[in-house]
Amino acid sequence: MSSDVLVAAVEGVWVIIALFTMYRALDLRRVLVDRPYRTRALWTAIGASSVVSFFFAAYIDSVFGDTPTTMEGVVAEGVVWGFTFIALYGWVAVNVNVAIAADFFHRDVLLWKKGGGIAALVVVFLAYALASLPPWWFSPSESAIGSDIVTVLFALAALYAAVALAVTYRRIADRRIKTYTMWVLLSILGVLLLIVSPSVLIPVPAVIWIYCMYRSVGSLAIRTRNLGQ
């Protein structure tokens, strides 16, 4: 019982930090002048919202079961997990696009602008579509394989975007954007670790994820310090 209370307390703190990150990012967006910073602030808020939806999705799983047996459960889990997937990938993809734009020569990386980014988005939607199929269409063994496939597809799309962002990071001259991008990269690392970690170790990548996302908002705040004076 005490361990359950501790887990609930940690999750509560995590959600509070995520909500504060969302508020801070949207508040900063109001005073940011440069469009790239405004775009990053908006999608940082959306990315932080995926932290909240992740916990809400876990709660929905506890209500309907990891494998829902009713149409209501399939729809509820499909909507919540779908938002989490798409919000996470959108946050990563937008940061790649802005990072490429921040490169003085606007050089492409890993064919991202030539269709790689769109292909990765298609993979995310494919993973979402597979995860949303009614489980009673498949046998237990097929459902287990399908779950592994969904995890791999999303992890590959996120990893591809993360590598593209890492390469672009080295080309950025603006130190402020570079610092922000560093924290985004570390946040993505936390997400990838969260996907592959066993349940016992999930708090570790969870802390990395939300802490680095919070620091990314702080790095954007540097750009507005003079505006607040």
User: pLDDT for 37-79, tens place per residue?
Assistant: 788 888 888 888 887 888 788 788 878 877 777 888 888 888 8
Kindly list the structural domains of the chain, giving each domain's residue range(s) and its CATH number in brackets, ordered by start. Answer: 2-228 (1.20.1070)
Q: What pLDDT shows up at residue 227? A: 41
Q: At what angle do helices 35-64 and 203-221 cross, to 10 degrees?
A: 160
pLDDT interval class at 226 (50, 70, 90): very low
User: pLDDT for 136-169, tens place per residue?
Assistant: 777 777 777 777 888 888 888 888 988 888 888 8
- What does the DSSP 8-state code read for residue 174? -
Mean pLDDT, the chain, integer: 80
Average pLDDT over residues 114-128: 88
Q: What pLDDT shows up at residue 221? A: 65
Burial 74-85 (b: 16+ CB within 10 A, else e): bebbbebbbbbb
Query: CA-CA distance, 168 to 161, in Å (whole number)?
Result: 11
Q: What pLDDT shows up at residue 215? A: 86
Token pair belonging to 82? 């779908």
pTM score: 0.77
pLDDT interval class at 119 (50, 70, 90): very high
Q: What pLDDT shows up at residue 188? A: 83
Query: CA-CA distance, 70 to 135, in Å (whole number)?
Result: 9
End-to-end Cα distance, the chain? 49
User: pLDDT for 196-225, tens place per residue?
Assistant: 777 667 777 878 888 888 888 877 765 554
Query: CA-CA distance, 220 to 109, in Å (whole number)?
Result: 24
Average pLDDT over residues 116-122: 90
Query: CA-CA distance, 16 to 21, in Å (whole number)?
Result: 9
The better pLDDT of the pair 106, 3 is held by: 106
Q: What pLDDT shows up at residue 211? A: 85
Surface-to-core class of residue 114, CB atoms within 10 Å of its CB (0-12 exposed, 13-18 middle, 19+ buried)? exposed
